[in-house]
Amino acid sequence: MYITQKHIPRRTFMKGMGASVALPFLDAMVPARSLWSTTASELDKTRLVAIEMVHGAAGSNELGASKHLWAPAQVGRDFDLSTSSLKPLEPFKDYLTIVSNTDMENAEAKSAREIGGDHFRSSAVFLTQEHPYQTEGSDVRVGTSLDQYYAQRFGQDTPIPSMQLCIENVDQAGGCAYGYACVYTDTISWAAPDQPLPMIRDPRVAFDQLFGSGGTAEERSMRRRTDRSILDWIASEVVALKRQLGAADQQRMERYLENIREIERRIQRIEVRNQSGEQRALPGAPAGVPDDFEEHVKLMFDIQALAFAADMTRVFSFKMGRDGSGRVYPGSGIDTAFHPASHHGGREDRVIDFAKLNEYHVSMLPYFMEKLKDTMEGDTHLLDKTMIIYGSPMGDSNLHNHKRCPLFIAGGANGQLEGNMHIRAEDGTPMANVMLSLMHKLGLDDKEQFGDSTKDFSFSV
């Protein structure tokens, strides 16, 4: 641990056997006035979370659109979410920007042999807005994804430039179906057109990447075997640091370290439960993966919030589903498996049921947003400094089309998003136009084209 006489550097780590814990932002990190511009610049960096939920939305078909099951009827600021699957976001309307009626043409089939392969190429299009090259081999090609453009430009001064998380099994190799390599549906992040990035499903793996590095492999292995907390290995450094902190900083430190410990406890409980020999709902899943969807998602959101607080990374992509999934979500009140439910046949009762599944998925977001809002950094909270992109590369899942694709953006993005806004795009507008404008709001001003974009998208009504 390196502490100057005047202030604590932002990049301070407390290290022990196989543990390396970064600090949250503290008042003690405010340096001499001549150096403040550097710290202020770090605090102004926008955090980015790009979330994909597969299979489109009930509000993307004709019936669902007429009933406003995704996009509200009103544009502008005076919109009503009561009939929408976005209803759980009502408490955060001031941080919500809905963009409806955009298309993802590059997810459509471009040749006869691609017809039917929508489930197996769509995820690759979501953040790249490019059409994937159809192959079952290693010669995959699509495009660099939005999250990676941002990480390559603004994430290189963090310990981890970006992290990729997922909820369902995405480690299949080779070809999946309709001539597409599984990697096209297994990841949404591409460092380059031919460089897909693997997603982390196991919370233990994500946690250890953030807080369990350092030391030798033997030391890390021993720490895991002792079933002790990583905080036990840095206890002496914590005590030494606290002596140099004011009361407010000590409270921030206590809260931050307790959050780390609580996440660690939860992971440990999950591992013990899943290794008990009892039959699992997700047979074959890693021991650290909860069988319960909501428990898994919230744990992943907690990890993201902690990573942002410590500025370990500023970029996450989060894949919350996998195309063709047969998962049942008991918490939604719908007992039909996800993929069959998405093929509703246009029947009103089944469209409504699918809308409830969409609402259940969206209902995971307020938990994360509240976490960010409760985490202060400088003179504001992290929700003000975060851009959350949530959407799907599919529109009407029953038809496998890519029209009226669901999309919203949450968070303040460091003043770049006004919030409390619903914008309905003109018919035929590429979602790539919206993504291009979001890149500009993230500071990638020199990007003139993204995917099949035709122009900048206006976020005013």
Summarised one tens digit per residue, pLDDT across range 367-397 is: 999 999 999 998 899 999 999 999 999 999 9
CB 432 within 8 A of CB 413: no
Tens-digit pLDDT profile for residues 425-449: 999 999 999 999 999 999 999 999 9
- Give the other-Cβ count within 10 Å of 356's Cβ: 17
Q: Give the residue-averaged pLDDT of 298-317.
A: 97
Q: Give the residue-averaged pLDDT of 297-325.
A: 97
Statement: residue 5 has pLDDT above 50: no
**CA dist 154 to 6, 48, 149, 303, 456, Å?**
28, 11, 9, 20, 21
Q: Could you tell me the domains of the chain?
A: 1-44+230-288 (no CATH), 48-201+289-441 (3.40.720.10)
Q: Can you tell me the distance from the alpha carbon of 18 to that of 287, in angstroms, rounded to the nearest whole number?
A: 21
Pairing of β 96-103 and β 175-177: unpaired
Q: What is the pLDDT of residue 40?
A: 57
| Selection from 316, 449, 286, 289 nearest residue 382 by Cα | 316
Q: What is the pLDDT of residue 3?
A: 42
Q: What are phi and psi of 430, to 5 degrees?
A: -70, 140
SS3 content of the chain, % helix, strand, coil (to 5): 40, 15, 45
Q: What is the pLDDT of residue 18?
A: 65
Q: What are phi and psi of 52, to 5 degrees?
A: -110, 130
Task: Assign 177 to helix, strand or coil.
Answer: strand
Mean pLDDT, the chain, as a whole number? 92
Q: How many degrees, rounded to 5, is the angle at CA 424 between CA 422 and CA 425? A: 135
CB 324 within 8 A of CB 119: yes
Predicted model pTM:
0.94
